[in-house]
Amino acid sequence: MTETTPAAPPVAAKQPHTFTHHGVTIEDPYAWLRDPGYPEVTDTAILTHLEAENAWFKARMKAQEPLADALFREMRGRIKEADKSVPQKDGDWLYWIEYEEGAEYKKWWRRPVSSGPDELILDEVALAEGLEYFRLGAISVSSDGRLLAWSVDDNGSERFTARIKVIATGEVLPDTIPETLSALVWAAGDTALVYSLANAQWRTDNARLHWLGKPVSEDIELYHEDDEGFRVSAGLSANEEWLVISAGDHETSEIRLIPTADPLAAPLLVKPRQTGVEYDVDLRGDTLFIHTNDTHENFRLATAPLASPAEWTTLIAGSDEFYLTGFDLFRDFYVIEGRVRGLDRIEVRYYDDPARIEPILFPEASYEASLGDNPEWAIDTLRVSYESMVSPASVYDYSVATRALTVLKVQEIPSGYDAALYTTERLEIAARDGTMVPVSVVYCKDRPAGGPLYLYGYGAYGIAIGPGFSTGRLSLVDRGMAFAIAHIRGGDDLGRAWYKAGKLTQRTNTFTDFVDVAQGLIARGMTAPGKIAISGGSAGGELIGAVINSDPALFGAAVAHVPFVDVLATMLDAELPLTPGEWPEWGNPIEDKAAFDLIRSYSPYDQVRAQAYPPLLVTAGLNDPRVTYWEPAKWVARLREFKTDDNELLLKTNMGAGHGGKSGRFEGLKETAEEFAFILWQLGLAQKDPGE
């Protein structure tokens, strides 16, 4: 049976549907694309429409398949297929991960520090065999090194099933914990696991204890959260003596401590929640260390006696210049991480000498640096990760005593890479309100001015997009494109105030910053109108939707991955998985008319209008619990109805995946290759090969 090539894009049916809030009635004729049985999607009309969109995507991209294949080969050629991580000591063992030639997934290994054979502790390749989708969630070795707990999602819904095995024999124990969405934390002398279940609304409102060998039905709830906007998680203190049970949303947190050895003991509340105050904790002996924004939005580090955990005394004061993002405790010293003017900073500090501050110094002016995996309590060497837009990812050991960095591994690029061919800049471009917005750019040194440019943005949840390295983007850069990251408000690139200036009532700063960066790059002669391709995913997809509504002529192509575009309807639906926890980020339009009006004014779906739009590629995941599949489907349907141009509008829905697209290191590359092929096609660069 041969497939028929569609002659025209699918046109979604319109069915009358309205809803009214605050005296305003909204018409939503594409609401039927939401299956009422979600997360099960069985409605024939919906599935038929999504498959028709996929067929249209395939038909329109068919001529670009050779280009996508070439891009994929380039990207794959830059990946060292048979590769492994630098082994790291944890107790009596050295642990590492390995990829075999051609493998989509990795294998987890260890060997004794003293001597002995390598042991394969988890084989993702075998676990993924026969599955369309595979994602490892949590993985945790018991403190005695005997048992391994892990969890797997096999459809992209982010509901993981946890299992346990005896490492030495490979015996998988009968214990099976379905529907988890959390870490797996060993407790009670490795006889129990602490975890969180995802409830019917995909919310983790609990911390539970599973005794090995007992039925899951007998698991004990250690903590239950009644606020539907809060999420619960569990972890271990650095010295592994305490379970840390955290509850919080996007702006408020609350923590309880339970002895790891006695998980049924009464939890110790560190400090009652206070709206707008976030904190996280760790312990050294009987002293609590608290990272909190209670007195300064850029956070301070405080201490408190375990006997009086709410009595916080400042150790490191909050600072306008230094944004304190986190800390790690070790036996003899501690480490703080943060950013100064948007650049990462790592400092070693000492318990007995507060004035002794030892920053770890790096050579480049713009980079990403962070602590790597440092699992042991008593260490004298830190594992550190480093990269920049022109420097491949590197792993270092940092000697605390000598303050020397030793290179352990530099990312290998088998097909070759010469950093001297590229240049990177960190620019500042004025937004319309005068705020200077940082922009990280990389391009070939011989690139002509005014050429095409790829502009990426996110701008939400206080997530910074660092100036890191990517082998994939070289396929664009080597074809004459500049690659730019706009560090727009809504992320916390420049501190907590930068985040706050792009959320709630100031949300539109995120969108105008992005537009102003694009116009600023044009004004600097780096590119030209219509030569800019833009891309973003999830909340970054909301960004893309907003700016093509406001300034469509500025962009030559746009890509929106799993875009959060039906913002108003989603924030009005308290039954959706994420909605209650999202109100501190976007506002609550159910209770607040001002929030309703503001969200409606920028929600990409609601603001689609009769105008010409740039060529647009949209992706979705049928099993996506974060941005439900119907958001991009409805958006594309409305765009097809209203847009006045003949530009490409393509929707690709992964029918067996979720928010992150296809799983596997090469399957994911294929989707990037498709995106880049679309962009090069639309910008008229499809025939340009690197080196021409």
Task: Decide: 661 and 535 in contact? Cβ < 8 Å.
Answer: no
The structure tokens listed for 142 are 């018991």
End-to-end CA distance of the chain: 42
| Of 268, 173, 156, residue with least CA distance to 223 | 268
| Residue 370 known to be catalytic | no
DSSP 243-267: EEEEEE-SS-EEEEEEETT-TTSPP
| Of 688, 668, 676, residue with least CA distance to 79 | 668
DSSP 143-162: TTSSEEEEEEESSSS--EEE
Q: Residue 315, SS3?
A: strand
**Which residues have C-beta within 8 Å of that of residue 448, sequence separation ≥ 6?**
480
Dihedral sign for Cα 645, 52, 566, 433, please. negative
Give the neighbor-by-neighbor strand order of the sheet with 160-166: 135-141, 147-153, 160-166, 172-180
The structure tokens listed for 239 are 């010295």
Q: Is 480 left (phi over 0), alpha (psi -120 to 50) or beta?
A: left
Active-site entry in 49, 210, 487, 659: 659
Q: Residue 535's beta-bridge partner residues?
A: 456, 559
Task: Decide: 440 and 652 in contact? Cβ < 8 Å.
Answer: no
Q: 209-215 long-range CB contacts below 8 Å, 24 or more apart?
A: 209/263, 209/264, 210/175, 210/177, 212/147, 212/164, 212/173, 212/175, 213/173, 213/174, 213/175
Is residue 39 reached through a cis peptide bond, with omega within 30 degrees of 0 on the bond before it?
Answer: yes
- Report which secondary-structure segment, H or E, holds 487: none
What is residue 120's DSSP assignment? E
Active-site entry in 291, 440, 624, 663: 624
Give the neighbor-by-neighbor strand order of the sheet with 279-284: 279-284, 287-292, 300-305, 313-316
Task: Decide: 540 and 460 in contact? Cβ < 8 Å.
Answer: yes
**Which residues have C-beta within 8 Å of that of residue 338, sequence separation ≥ 6?**
322, 323, 324, 325, 326, 344, 345
The structure tokens listed for 453 are 């440019």
Active-site entry in 538, 551, 561, 566: 538
User: Residue with structure tokens 């800019």?
Assistant: 532
| Residue 492 known to be catalytic | no
What is residue 653's DSSP assignment? E
The structure tokens listed for 345 are 């900073």
Task: Decide: 326 and 278 in contact? Cβ < 8 Å.
Answer: no
For residues 391 and 398, give the distance between their C-alpha atoms in angstroms, rounded to a whole number. Answer: 19
For residues 586 and 599, give the distance between their C-alpha atoms in angstroms, rounded to a whole number. Answer: 8
Task: Decide: 487 and 342 in contact? Cβ < 8 Å.
Answer: yes
| Residue 573 known to be catalytic | no
Active centre residues (catalytic): 538, 624, 659
